[in-house]
Structure 1
């Protein structure tokens, strides 16, 4: 039965994603032809509605096929017409489904920072492009030493994308670890955290540099799947997802995150210390969740 559910749920998710992406891309074509920024903003709202429908269908599939116990705390005062930067730990593809399911009626639909390779994934890349989600190219330090002209391109991409977000309420999502957590990666980077990879401050700093004054709050989300640690996405598709834990903290946009990260070295150290403290608190929270 589990493998039958896997096939059915995978097909339904693919069909839902394909239909939603085509609708969003059709709206994007219309948006290009519209003459005024106000009309373009209306088109963006329509695209966000299509994404909301995608998230609603996925939430329905999750509820129907899985005996999920939702354990959600925090974030009661969030609003649909605000501007937020959302940071989260990253465990699985399940995170995107969970974040959209939990927050789709509480804050503006999330805009994810995506790896450039995802642009070429059928339907997904096309839909995300139409939603103005930024696609980031990640260069190694060695590559940048050989090609210094590429340095700073991520910041330019972030600024261009965030310019589009200034005209309508938006939630920008940043997975601060930069990749999905697993034990091998944790050991490879010698992480000092028990349940997390070390946070990478650059991506978050890019976003704050481009839009920091407009964000009302930073939403710090901690995700856990205590009974499905190994393969949460597969377990979700197979109807085996048992418990989803979501902890939400709303942090102020204050002096800890307001400064020139790229040119002010004392501020850069302060920002990294602040983010390290946030991540330490998250790790302690995860210890308690897994212990219980």
Structure 2
């Protein structure tokens, strides 16, 4: 609809639409959250929480419409036809670009439960978005430098404890928990610095996945292994609106979380090695899948 407009006008209008859509949805979302905080009956609080999720899904739906209206990006998506909004999922994905998050929200919105991400604690101060993430029960994690951890080893458990608190809350509602297992976006410099054994991926960090699987217990039995590639190269959202990202390819496969993959990752050496071997195997398969997806003609 707007994709034929000059780039400057297209980017300006898209930003205004995004801002207006965010304000339109975040304001009632925060008001509902205040109501939920003062309600004395748990069942009523859960009802208000469901209404908050409905608002968030409406927010994402409009954003998804915007990507279609303002861009000519072609979406090639496999594996989303047999998902359920009533089933809990752990979603793991490689991390290429800031576009990854809105892309995943677009393909999964209302196909699976509303996705929650583990966010850096500093992001709670992002105008509008930070309070909205807080209102939607996104877990905020504190990151500590190596020097801090050496001075105060007890801080090593803070992320684990935050994960357990969040997962305890998630056990009572349909949820999809998102994890970018590499921990950061892929760049050639990071790849070389790590000495990564994969061609298209950074080394996976298995600990975060292990903590979620253990904390959720039987409440989460399925994993969505998501692979995302940009044949023209990863870029920014402005690159996408400006027409420089012509195609996004996404592959989704549903896997049952194997028996024996719930345990004490931190203290059980044998379990930790077994869990890491499982994640490393998934990453080997993902690396091969990325190569195949990139090799397909446009």
SS in 2 for 1:162: helix
Shift of 1:87: 0.6
Which residue in the other structure is 2:172 paired with? 167
Which residue in the other structure is 1:234 paired with? 238
* TM-score normalized by the length of structure 2: 0.93
1:183 aligns with 2:188: yes
Shift in CA distance, 60/272, structure 1 to aligned 2, threshold 3 Å: same
Give the Cα separation in 2 of the matches to 1:4 and 1:121: 26
Decide whether the 8 Å contact of 1:16 with 1:54 is kept in 2.
yes
Which residue in the other structure is 1:31 paired with? 36
Q: Output the aligned Cα RMSD.
A: 1.4
Which residue in the other structure is 1:251 paired with? 255
Which residue in the other structure is 1:143 paired with? 148
Give the Cα separation in 2 of the matches to 1:82 and 1:187: 38
Which residue in the other structure is 2:127 paired with? 122
SS in 2 for 1:261: coil
Give the Cα separation in 1 of the matches to 2:59 and 2:13: 17
Shift of 1:232: 4.0
1:208 aligns with 2:213: yes
The one-character-per-residue Cα deviations of 1:215-236 (angstroms, maximum 9, x if unpaired) are 0301111111212x14142222
Q: Greater CA deviation, 55-64 or 76-85? A: 76-85
* TM-score normalized by the length of structure 1: 0.95
Which residue in the other structure is 2:201 paired with? 196
1:20 aligns with 2:13: no
Give the Cα separation in 1 of the matches to 2:204 and 2:23: 33
SS in 2 for 1:151: helix
Size of the aligned set, in residue pairs, is 291
Which residue in the other structure is 2:96 paired with? 91
Question: Which 5+ residue runs of structure 2 have no aligned equivalent?
Answer: 1-5
Q: Structure 1 residue aligned with 2:265, among 261, 266, 269?
A: 261
